[in-house]
Structure 1
Amino acid sequence: MSRPPCRTSLADEKQKRVWQPARCIPAARVEAACKAYNRDPPLLKPATDAPIFEHQDFPSLQVILGLLLPETQANLLHKINLQTNYNIPYPLPTNTSASSHQFDASFFMRDRAGLEDLLLLKLPKNQKPLNHEQLLHSKLRWLTLGEQYDWPPSGVVLIYGSKDFMPVHRDVSEKFQRAFASFSVGCDGIFILARGEDGGEGDLAPRTGAIRVRSGDGVHLGGEARWAWRTRARTIPGIPGTCSLHMADWPVGTPGATSQGEKAYKKWKGYMVTKRINVSCRQVWS
């Protein structure tokens, strides 16, 4: 398992061979994007350059370290995987002022086991309604942002628990050649790619790469890497340092939270300690 070397660390020889520095995204650009996303509040600390590394065995595979600042990571909904079977009582905005953040309504404002906001089945059978503890800790697996397959306003958000993983797959149904972008928030995760053929030689020789991605990292797949086999093999919870400090208490610490929100969020403190969120953007057809 490898990870692009940080500017302040001493990488081993294999990492130096596999990961080559490509360029950096300037701190000013990272900061400007973060402020635009969060409607221009001050940052907790100055942004730094986000180094980009390229993998030598997977052409056009790039990893951007620390691209998402803490303020962006802490503001994490459109369609979710439970809509087909449940009537979902979405929360109403708590702050409608022009200066409020774009995400001013939250499920985390509600009690974990409150009876007044249960998710009721559309076709009641033997299953029971869900409370918000069940919704947010075990049942919510994915949600979409914007119109599907409309780059870049669209995206898919996948929520991984400590035992969840993404099966090995390729994007064989997609005909478009544009790159695929993926961003990580929360606990560390293992991202695996594979290419080549059994018994192949030269460019067709089997190759596998395992990458440890951390909260705030971005992965960019273009060219041949876009069509490689890949999987999100596991989430790494429960190890000190795995979940970044600014996410360990989330939703406590959400930027711009009202006093009412701060009080409600304390009931959900530590939600991200066993979670990893992956935000993916792609264009499937032109």
Structure 2
Amino acid sequence: MGEIERLSAHERPPAVMRQLYKEYRSLKPAEVDSHPLVIDPQRQDNEGSFSGLQTEGYVPHQTILTALDKFLDCPFSKDGLKDVPVYTHQAIPGLRIIPSLSPPAAQIELLSRIFHRDLSNEKHKTNIHLHYHMSYPDLQASSRDDNSNSQEKLNNPSQKKGSFFQDSPARELVPKDPSVHPSLSIKSILEKKLRWMTLGGQYNWTDKVYPAELPPPFPEDIAKLLRNLFPDTKAEAAIVNLYSPGDTLSVHRDVSEECDTGLISISFGCDGLFMVGHEDGAGCEVIRLRSGDAVYMTGRSRFAWHAVPKIIPSTCPGWLADWPGDSRKFEQWRGWMSNKRINLNVRQMKEAAAGAD
């Protein structure tokens, strides 16, 4: 387990990180583009060097192509697929920034599987479960004349629950304590109230631990995609964070796991500012992450303090803004992603057994 067993998820962040978080949270969206300390990996200068980042190497386009061929169940455009640079920063050893790692087809398919399939799996808990009795939409009525969900049926043939985006927006969930919480409509959940969901290992945000019981399996197709791109990390647990403009994620460290294998983070939708602390604790770097960008926190950066102080509104790429309403059956939700940022944060919970893949 190494150093991670000596660190506490309950420890208070350093004062300097808390102060910097407040400063970047207060930035106006118009100030982000011109801010001298915000690093934007997708907008390097002609020499390819900027703001302290160095090119460590590349993810070969053939690696990305192989991963997508195994993940996508339909033809996709290979135009523009190229080697993707991997950037590091001297002040944060082990941190890897990989801009535009996930091409549009992969982003759309990942969102579809997470929100149309995995969100409807009762074993995957959300913040809504904390205060409400969860119930799920019925797949049968909506799937009789729909043949577009072949991958979902292939991966989970026994699933009888439909997507919440096919549900009646007016349907309400009943609170566990009506004296504290009102009933909550599906519309309210999808528009704002749904803040996170867990895949695989079901992290307890209150106690900051993983339950002792055997976790539900991590979605196999997503795990294989990530293993092809990040072979040193076995996907066992993930937190899917949902942000709207004004939402933030406070300063924290991910140190509840039993191993220090690298953390995988993939962004979708609107741009977000990602703060990550220097190894010496004296400051941080602030990186603008765009849709499709990946962050891999390995080595010393695995234990770094980090946060999301700002979501930049109206920055979702045009080709993604209408999701999931770009599909006929989800037409009423057209534009849902236009002001959303989704982050898929994946980790390995335990040391791999000897001889395991």
Normalising TM by the smaller chain, what interval?
0.7 to 0.9
Conserved 8 A contact 1:118-1:129: yes
Pick aligned residue for 2:134 from 88, 95, 98: 88
Separation in 2 of the partners of 1:11 and 1:24?
16
2:195 maps to 141
1:199 maps to none
2:174 maps to 120
What is the total number of aligned residue pairs between the two structures? Answer: 261
Q: Is residue 55 from structure 1 mapped to residue 89 from structure 2 by the alignment? A: yes
Question: Where is the strand percentage greater, Structure 1 or Structure 2?
Answer: 1
Unaligned runs of 5+ in 2: 1-37, 112-118, 154-160, 203-209, 211-217, 219-233, 352-357
C-alpha deviation, 1:223, in angstroms? 1.0
1:201 maps to none
Look up the equivalent residue of 1:214 and give its one-letter code: R
Separation in 2 of the partners of 1:71 and 1:191?
24
Q: Is residue 154 from structure 1 mapped to residue 234 from structure 2 by the alignment? A: no
2:76 maps to 43
2:339 maps to 274
Query: Does 179-188 or 103-112 show the bigger shift?
Result: 103-112
C-alpha deviation, 1:277, in angstroms? 0.6
1:76-113 Cα offsets, whole Å, 9 max, x none, are 2222111132222322334487971228932111343x
Q: Is residue 101 from structure 1 mapped to residue 151 from structure 2 by the alignment? A: yes
C-alpha deviation, 1:6, in angstroms? 5.3
Superposition RMSD in Å: 2.6
Conserved 8 A contact 1:166-1:232: yes
* TM-score, normalised with respect to structure 1: 0.81
| TM-aligned CA distance change 1:71 to 1:160, over 3 Å | same
C-alpha deviation, 1:68, in angstroms? 1.4
Q: Is residue 167 from structure 1 mapped to residue 250 from structure 2 by the alignment? A: yes
C-alpha deviation, 1:166, in angstroms? 0.7
C-alpha deviation, 1:193, in angstroms? 1.1
C-alpha deviation, 1:143, in angstroms? 0.4
Unaligned runs of 5+ in 1: 197-203, 254-261
Aligned pairs (5 A) from 1:1-286: 1-4=38-41, 9-10=45-46, 14-15=50-51, 18-38=52-72, 40-46=73-79, 47-75=81-109, 76=111, 77=119, 78-93=124-139, 94-95=142-143, 100-102=150-152, 105-112=162-169, 114=170, 117-125=171-179, 127-148=181-202, 151-196=234-279, 204=280, 206-238=282-314, 242-253=315-326, 262-286=327-351
C-alpha deviation, 1:137, in angstroms? 1.3
* TM-score, normalised with respect to structure 2: 0.66
Separation in 1 of the partners of 2:254 and 2:237?
17
Query: Does 138-147 or 117-126 show the bigger shift?
Result: 117-126
| TM-aligned CA distance change 1:80 to 1:133, over 3 Å | same
Separation in 2 of the partners of 1:177 and 1:220?
12
Separation in 2 of the partners of 1:212 and 1:27?
23
1:3-42 Cα offsets, whole Å, 9 max, x none, are 22557x5368643xx111122222222123223223x211
| TM-aligned CA distance change 1:122 to 1:207, over 3 Å | closer
Q: SS in structure 2 opposite 1:191?
A: strand
Query: Does 126-135 or 52-61 show the bigger shift?
Result: 126-135
1:29-78 Cα offsets, whole Å, 9 max, x none, are 2123223223x211144333222111122111101111112122223222
Separation in 2 of the partners of 1:28 and 1:282?
25
Conserved 8 A contact 1:57-1:207: no
Q: SS in structure 1 opposite 2:197?
A: strand
Conserved 8 A contact 2:245-2:312: yes
Question: Where is the helix percentage greater, Structure 1 or Structure 2?
Answer: 2
Query: Does 134-143 or 45-54 show the bigger shift?
Result: 45-54
Structure 1 vs Structure 2: percent identity of aligned residues? Answer: 34
Separation in 2 of the partners of 1:62 and 1:79?
29
